[in-house]
Structures are given as structure tokens and as C-alpha cells.
Amino acid sequence: MSATTAAPKDERLVKTSRLTRTLRRPELGALLGALVVYALFAVTDRTGSFATITGTANWTDAASQIGIVAVPVALLMIAGEFDLSAGVLVGTSGLFCGLLTTNYGVNLWLAILLTFAFAAGIGFINGWLVMLTGLPSFIVTLAMFFSLRGINLGVTKILTDTVRVAGVGNVPSYDSAQKVFGSELWAPYNFKVAVIWWLAITAVATLVLTKTRFGNWIYAVGGDANAARNTGVPVRRTKITLFVLTAMSAALLGVINIIRFKSMQAGQGVGQEFYYIIAAVVGGCLLTGGFGSAIGAAIGASIMGMAFIGIAFAGWNTDWTFLFLGVILFAAVLVNTYIGRRAQGARK
């Protein structure tokens, strides 16, 4: 038999349509959800500004507060791991940066660098412990979450006698750092510069996932770590790198917040870790790993940003926000699972 002749076409197979290929995209459900949520709040809006540029500046600000960390968390989830310490690490990083400058007189730029290095260290410990012990990352990072929470309060109290770090606005180099991390763009709408950071992270993460070797490894270690190892993918290195990147994104948000608000509470960031995970899951990441996208997580963050702002603009009591998030989370997972199954062609 000639080596180059193709096997005859199998007549039992339906041609994959463009629709199926679209349905296979992990972020499709989130995109549809985002449109629905946007329409909902555009209609219920009582201030008349939700669907304007000002309104957009508002909800993208709220979304960037989640998205900056949610996108790396999504990458980590695709690789099959959780990071529950990402939220409280935002607080730790902000406090660390603030205390270095206000308490020890370190130059702000140097302090920012040290903060990133410090957070990278925390991320490395997370990843290294997970790989070393073989325990679920859920447990390891939960332990890290409580440890950091305790450290945040304890250290801040010892050093400042209060539960907050303040006065960052008065340290040298504040103005130059403020331009990079805390400024506003496009007057009079005043988009926060954090939105740019968020979009940039999403773009880079998408590029990495789809177009680089590392991205291939991320899907592989989450999809089947054993198979990945047998084909020569460095599983440990891939996962630890992602833990480090997640922690560094939390540091970025911590730095952004301490520069923007010039002070930070010791309890900052606690509870945020679930927002990141919700955004990733709403965006189509599988909890079991191996599937998802960065754009999806960014859309998930957008939905949450819209909900935070939209509920306030609609004049509803903001206490309802959490109910809304709960329903959105459940509905999104339901839709994603359904779409996913159809696209895999398994069960209908």
C-alpha cells in the first residue's frame, strides 16, 4: 500500500461546522452572559449613565479590580490548580509596599520591586509545597490564605499600632509611581489606568495560551499531568511558574490599590479570591483543569464589574449583589457544561 494515499473518507462522520467550532470556544457562554447582563443593567439603569462612556469607565474599573488577578488564576486553573491565597495576597502586597515606604523610608520604586519579588516568593512557596507534598492546592493555598491573613493583621499592628497603613501619598517618587499605577486616562470620563493593566494582562495571557509552548504545557498539565510528564513536559516547573505569576498579579493589584488609595486596611483582599475563581469559572474554565481561556476570565470579570456597578445604578440595595453573583455563577457553569458536551460531541 502506498504510504501517501489517504484513507477513504469515512461516510459516518458529519463535517465539523463552523458553529461547532465556535461552540468549542470556552468563553462563548460567558460572552452571551455578558451581553445579557449588559442589556439587563442598561434597561434597569436609573441614573441614565450605565450605557454611556462614563458608566463604562465605572464598570471597567470594578472589573479590572477582579480581572487583573482572575486572568492568571484562570491560567492556573487550566493547569489544574487553585490559588485561594491570591485575594489576601493583594492585601499583603499592598501592606508590604506601604510599610516599606512609610515605616522604613524605602524609595517607592524600589519598594514596588521588592513587593513583586516578595509576592513571587509566596507564589513559589505555594507551588513548591503543592508539588512537594502532593496535597491538593486547595488545601495548601487555603493554609497560605489563613497564614497571610494572620500576618497582615499581626505585622501591621506591631509596626503601626493600627490596622491600616496610611500616608503613602507623601513618600518620595509617589507622583511618578502614581502615573503608572494610579492615574486616570481620557478626561472627562476618567478611565482608571488599572483597566489598561487588566487588558494588557488578558492580551498577553491569551497570546501565551494559544501561541506559545508554555501555553501548550498549561493545557497539558491540567488536562492529564501524567501524559504531559510522559511526553517530556516539565510539569513541576510549569505549575510552579503559574503559582508565581498568579502571586505577582496579586502584587500588581496590591501596588495599584495602595498607590491609588494612599492607604490600605490590614483586612484588604480577604474574600476576593472567590471573585477570581468565579470570574474564571464563568469564563469557561473547568474546575478539573485542562480547559478554559484568558479572554473568558476577562469576560467573567466584566460580568462581575457590570453587576457591582449596575446594581448600584439601578437603585437596588447592593446587598443583592452576592445573590446575583451566585445565580450568575450557577447559570454560567450550567450553560458552559451543556455547550461543552455538545461541542465534544459526546452526549447531547
Counting other chains too, the contacts that 101-105 makes at CB distance below 8 Å and 24 or more residues apart are 101/168, 101/171, 102/165, 102/166, 102/167, 102/168, 102/171, 103/159, 103/160, 103/165
Q: Which alpha helices (H) appear in 79-185, and where do they start and end?
A: 86-104, 108-133, 137-160, 174-181
Q: Is residue 227 involved in binding other proteins (CB under 8 A)?
A: yes
Q: Which stretch binds other proteins (CB under 8 A): 61-69, 132-140, 206-214, 328-336?
A: 206-214
Q: What angle do CA 280, 267, 192 make, to 5 degrees?
A: 55
Q: Is residue 9 involved in binding other proteins (CB under 8 A)?
A: yes
Q: Is residue 226 involved in binding other proteins (CB under 8 A)?
A: yes
Smallest distance, other proteins to C-beta of residue 210, A: 8
Q: Is residue 347 involved in binding other proteins (CB under 8 A)?
A: no
Binding residues with other proteins: total (CB under 8 A): 37
Q: Which stretch binds other proteins (CB under 8 A): 51-59, 225-233, 259-267, 274-282?
A: 225-233
Selected from 186, 187, 230, 317, the binder of other proteins by CB under 8 A is: 230
- Binding to other proteins, residues 257-286 (CB under 8 A): 286
Q: What DSSP string runs through 211-234?
A: HSHHHHHHHHHHH-HHHHHHTT--
Mention every residue, 6+ apart, whose C-beta is less than 8 A from residue 317: none
Selected from 4, 18, 187, 188, the binder of other proteins by CB under 8 A is: 4
Q: Is residue 232 involved in binding other proteins (CB under 8 A)?
A: yes
Nearer to other proteins, 4 or 317 (CB): 4
Selected from 41, 82, 118, 291, the binder of other proteins by CB under 8 A is: 291
